[in-house]
Amino acid sequence: MATTKNINLKQEIVAYLLVALGSLLFAVGDVMFVNPYHLAPGGVYGLANVFNALFGWKISLAGICMDIPLLIIGTIILGPRFGVKTVLSVILIPIFTYLLEITWGYDPVIYDYSRGFFEANPEVDFYIEEAGYMKGFVPDFFLNTVVAGLIYGVAIGIIFRAGATSGGSDIISMIIHKYTKISLGTLVLIVDSLISLTTLIAFKDIRLPIYSIILIFIESKIIDLVVDGMKSYKTMFIVTDELESVRNYILNDLGRGGTLLVGTGLYQGNERKMIYVTLDRADMVKLKSNLHRLDPKAFVNIMESSEILGFGFKALPKE
């Protein structure tokens, strides 16, 4: 029992450290990469970046002033689903953001400075200053967007893996989801895209919402990699008359299990047997390439499986 308690305590400590690390990385991505380019990749801090550029408000102050009321409203409407780790993340992100604001400022990390370029093109320098960028700043939007998406994705992925969320606009999506039939994923995309469009209204630059949405896409893919890992799983439904041959190959050659389902064919009404099995990509390829040998008349349906929980795969969550 003591050993189990020690393991649980260690896991909790690691989880809180991950929340702190993810919050720090998020602040780095926002202050040093997203804000200097006037991007708004969704979320509360996307709006905070716009407010910072327009009114000079500190990102940290604007962020926490929106996050805390959303957290309270979300708890009232949705119930106490936001745990201590989420509250910690909501607090740590503005703290780290504030520390970067007063030490690093809002200067970009990725940019090109060429004195000769500006001497030959003085109108560009004027445009840059008018747009609110620092003097001598030649933006590299694409590279900065890719790097920002990577940092954001790793940061939020780490926070998710620790069992927390970053709060923010996700809470708005959850509230709307409660009263509509729109899927949560669709609502998150809509809310974040609308926030990204505020950059077009604020700065009259069509590139900004486009790059912001590209950043969101990169971020989402990295989050999936961090949370789920590199493993890719496929679920196969195999209708076969050569049940034993296919069954033995799955059990003995692949070393995997599965489930036998019995159904009735619609056309002739005969009893048909179907194997349900989930495999990683490598084993799926092996089984698919051997099916013609095992049963040339087999019918196969292969589907992408975004997450597999249970024995032999990822452990079921404890909470």
How does pLDDT run along the chain (319 residues), one tens digit per residue? 456 667 678 888 998 999 999 999 999 999 999 998 999 998 899 999 999 988 999 999 999 999 999 888 888 887 776 778 888 999 999 999 999 999 999 888 887 655 554 455 555 554 555 555 555 567 788 999 999 999 999 998 898 888 777 777 778 877 887 788 777 667 777 888 899 999 998 888 899 999 999 999 898 888 878 876 766 688 999 998 888 999 998 988 888 888 888 887 777 778 888 899 988 877 888 888 888 889 988 889 988 876 677 666 666 666 5
Alpha carbon distance 106, 104 (integer Å)? 7
Alpha carbon distance 103, 222 (integer Å)? 28
Q: Where are the domains of the chain?
A: 2-228, 233-305
Which pLDDT value is given to residue 1? 47
Structure tokens at 77: 């409407």
Alpha carbon distance 148, 65 (integer Å)? 24
Fold type of domain 233-305 = Alpha-Beta Plaits (3.30.70)
Which pLDDT value is given to residue 204? 87
φ/ψ bin of 168: left (φ > 0), alpha (ψ from -120 to 50), beta (otherwise): left
